[in-house]
């Protein structure tokens, strides 16, 4: 299996592991953005799919959090953190996914060190793929939740 | 014009070095040095200049803003541009050293132009990152004020 295929395979395996977190963030997004601000999610997905730098995605999240009060709202559900949607998403991408990238690039998985620039670029590429996967999953859950709100389930 | 390899390295540096340094820069000014966050008019002005100009023009804008006779209520703006000038002055030296973006020892018009072209791209990304963080800080400060009321 070539290197790119190995990376895609490992990123997909990791996506299974963070699926639950993407669901939670997707539910949070549905609660604060509602169907009325759907373009916020499609805009984020577009940025994530086209960005060449992870910092462009993080800066976009910061800008939207600054501009729109709904990005600043927390999720009043038991067991959920009290942080705003924007901050929670940014922190997850910056901390959790970066740690997952490190595990993925370790010798036990992809074995991508950070000794050469080529390896460092590859590590960033893996990080970008993880962010794209996470945002994709989160946006799908957002779409699902605004279509089928939790409190109406089974009605 | 920067080569594809230089652009690749610039992207890497933006994600791994500039982003963290820009966040630290603006947070230090606001949290440790008691500066206000940068107002919207300055944000727009700086972004417009950074995205549309050469490095020489951006440098001249920063110098002009630093030298302006700001009223006491806007002294934070003077501090901001003074500190930004220092960061960019140091960053220029890092282009041939730490960043390995331009061959050290290269002289002449072409080498200077290459340094200018790389420098404006570094400066743009640094400014983009610090302005994004500045917005978040402004929201945090407004929320703190609202909680105290």
3-state secondary structure of A112: coil
Token pair listed for B15 = 């994600």
List residues of A whose CB lies inside 8 A of any B CB: 52-55, 58-59, 62-63, 65-67, 72, 87, 117, 120-121, 124
* Domain definitions of chain B by residue range: 4-148
The residue of chain B nearest to residue A123, with distances taken between CA atoms, is B12
Whether chain A has a CB inside 8 Å of the CB on B17: the answer is no
Closest residue of chain A to B126, computed from CA coordinates: A55
* Below-50 pLDDT ranges, chain B: none
Q: How far apart are CA B9 and CA B118, in angstroms?
A: 11
Contacts of A112 by beta carbon, 8 Å cutoff, 6+ apart: A105, A119, A122, A123, A126
Which of A47, A66, A68, A122 to probe by mutation at the B interface, max B CB count within 10 Å? A66
- Establish, for the pair of chains A and B, how many residue pairs have beta carbons separated by less than 8 Å: 44
Q: Measured between alpha carbons, how far is B20 from B27 in angstroms, rounded to an integer?
A: 11
User: A107: how many CB neighbours lie within 10 A of its CB?
Assistant: 8
Distance from CA of B11 to the nearest CA of A (A): 6
* pTM (2 d.p.): 0.94
Which residue of chain B has the CA closest to A61? Answer: B132
For chain A, which residues make up each domain, given as ranges? 3-148
Spatial CA neighbour of A48 closest among A134, A141, A130, A132: A132
Q: What is the DSSP letter of A105?
A: T
Dist CA B88 CA B119 (whole Å): 8
pLDDT tens for chain A, 155 residues: list them.
798 999 999 999 999 999 999 999 999 999 999 999 999 999 999 999 999 999 999 999 999 999 999 999 999 888 888 899 999 999 999 999 999 999 999 999 999 999 999 999 999 999 999 999 999 999 999 999 999 998 755 43
Rounded to whole angstroms, how far apart are CA atoms B102 and B109?
Answer: 14
Residue of A nearest to B100 (CA): A117
Q: What is the DSSP string of B49-113?
A: HHHHS-HHHHHHHHHHHHHS---GGGHHHHHHHHHHHHHHHHHHHHTTTTT--S-TT--SHHHHH
Q: What's chain B's average pLDDT?
A: 94
**Token digits for A23?**
């669901």
pLDDT of residue B112: 87
B2 touches A at CB < 8 Å: no
Q: Which residues of B touch A88 (CB under 8 A)?
A: none
According to the model, what pLDDT value does residue A82 have?
87
Residues of A in contact with B19 (CB under 8 A): 55, 58
Is residue B14 less than 8 Å (CB to CB) from chain A? yes
Return the pLDDT at A100: 97
CB < 8 Å to B16, chain A: 120, 124
């Amino acid at each position: 299996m070539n290197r790119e295929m190995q990376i895609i395979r490992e990123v997909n395996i990791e996506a299974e592991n963070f699926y639950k977190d993407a669901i939670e963030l997707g539910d949070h997004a549905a609660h604060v953005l509602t169907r009325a601000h759907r373009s916020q999610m499609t805009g984020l997905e577009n940025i994530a799919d086209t960005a060449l730098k992870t910092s462009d995605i993080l800066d976009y999240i910061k800008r939207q959090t600054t501009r729109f009060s709904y990005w600043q709202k927390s999720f009043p559900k038991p067991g959920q953190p009290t942080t705003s949607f924007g901050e929670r998403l940014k922190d997850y991408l910056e901390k959790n996914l970066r740690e997952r990238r490190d595990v993925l690039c370790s010798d036990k998985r992809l074995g991508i060190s950070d000794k050469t620039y080529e390896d460092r670029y590859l590590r960033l590429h893996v990080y970008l793929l993880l962010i794209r996967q996470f945002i994709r999953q989160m946006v799908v859950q957002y779409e699902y939740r605004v279509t089928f709100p939790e409190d109406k389930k089974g009605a | 014009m920067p080569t594809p390899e230089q652009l690749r390295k610039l992207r890497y540096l933006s994600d791994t070095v500039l982003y963290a340094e820009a966040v630290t820069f603006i947070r230090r000014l606001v949290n440790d040095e008691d500066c206000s966050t940068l107002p919207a008019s300055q944000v727009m002005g700086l972004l417009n200049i950074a995205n549309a100009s050469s490095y020489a023009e951006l440098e001249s804008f920063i110098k002009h803003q630093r030298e302006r006779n700001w009223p006491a209520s806007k002294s934070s703006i003077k501090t901001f541009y003074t500190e930004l000038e220092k960061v960019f002055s140091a960053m220029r030296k890092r282009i041939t050293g730490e960043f390995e973006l331009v061959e050290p020892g290269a002289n002449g018009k072409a080498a200077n132009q290459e340094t200018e072209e790389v420098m404006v791209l570094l400066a743009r990304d640094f400014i983009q990152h610090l302005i994004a963080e500045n917005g978040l800080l402004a929201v945090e400060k407004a929320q703190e004020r609202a909680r105290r009321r």
